[in-house]
Amino acid sequence: MGKKVILSGIQATGNLTLGNYLGAINNWKKMQEDYQCNYMIADLHTLTIRNNPEDLRKNTLELLALYVSAGIDPEKSNIFLQSHVPAHAELAWVLNCYTYMGELSRMTQFKDKSAKHADNINSGLFTYPVLMASDILLYQADLVPVGEDQKQHLELTRDIANRFNAIYGETFKIPDGYIQGVAARVMGLQEPKSKMSKSSTIPNDAIFLKDEPDVILKKFKKSVTDSENVVRFDTENKPGISNLMSIYSAITGKSKEDIEKEFEGKGYGDFKTAVAECVISELRPLQEKYKELIQNPDYLEKIYRDGARKATAISENTLRDVYQKIGLVS
């Protein structure tokens, strides 16, 4: 029996954060040993908002360099740009015809993003989950690493696949969610009840993977805590400290109980410095590798060209089957 298939991706907008690293990419790195992994840069998904074209091209290549710098090995995983594989957009159109308006209107991310971009509520924003379903189903993915905010989209993907299979026979594998472990949801340093976001405009709220060590230290020192001055895990009453503990735990492997004992009798200043230092140490090799890769555009181009070839070969098999079943002339 072959390895199970994984599909995941990140949009090519903004700077990647510590949350993206601990909640997604670091887990992807571990998964590539045991699964057949397909990791895309979701550049088509970025088009639901207006992008500066040069910034989008730059962000896409920087994200590719960060994937590899973080340990995603192009020899073990297939890394590709979504827009380089035409089957994503082609299957999305077909699946749009098997997805109901009521289903899409219930998507909470559409409501949230519409509120943030009230001047640009476009149809792509509405049908975004169908393109996501296409991404997943093209590769016959067994598992999709998802955070809490993507569970609803995965459920819709399963519904669409089951509906299509019921009409035309077994076509799509029904994917399951692969729920991340510790620190799957890193929160903001200034808004610890909201997920750390690469599009955050709040000063010092997000740690970006390219932040210099002195910037990382400063941001942690300014992180929001509480007046108790006791390092204790309590997400309800101590969201700031609990978030720092989750970050520290994810990097060091220490349990929450061990962290509480380690910093018993010590103030928040000591704890914030310790968290900052472990983050700086964790990101140092990634940052050094990134600086090398971003100066080597030929190597990055080879990765995405090779990835596109592999992804196209897989995705076209699925698309051909779909076209045949719905009656399009071959």
Is residue 193 flagged as an active site residue?
no
Is residue 238 flagged as an active site residue?
no
The position carrying tokens 């955070």 is: 147
Structure token digits, residue 91: 């299957």
Integer Cα distance of 148 and 158 in angstroms: 16
Segment (H or E) for 288: helix 268-293
Strand arrangement, sheet containing 5-11: 78-81, 36-42, 5-11, 143-146, 176-179
State the catalytic residue, choosing from 195, 219, 238, 272: 195
Is residue 198 flagged as an active site residue?
yes
State the catalytic residue, choosing from 76, 173, 198, 210: 198
Say if residues 318 and 139 touch (Cβ distance below 8 Å). yes
What phi, psi does 187 have (nearest 5°)? -95, 165
Say if residues 63 and 15 touch (Cβ distance below 8 Å). no
The position carrying tokens 């994937």 is: 67
Structure token digits, residue 184: 């799957």
Write the single-letter amino acid at 46.
Answer: T
Integer Cα distance of 84 and 299 in angstroms: 17
Say if residues 16 and 28 touch (Cβ distance below 8 Å). no
Which residues touch 1 (CB under 8 Å, ≥6 apart)?
A: none
Annotated catalytic residues are: 113, 195, 198
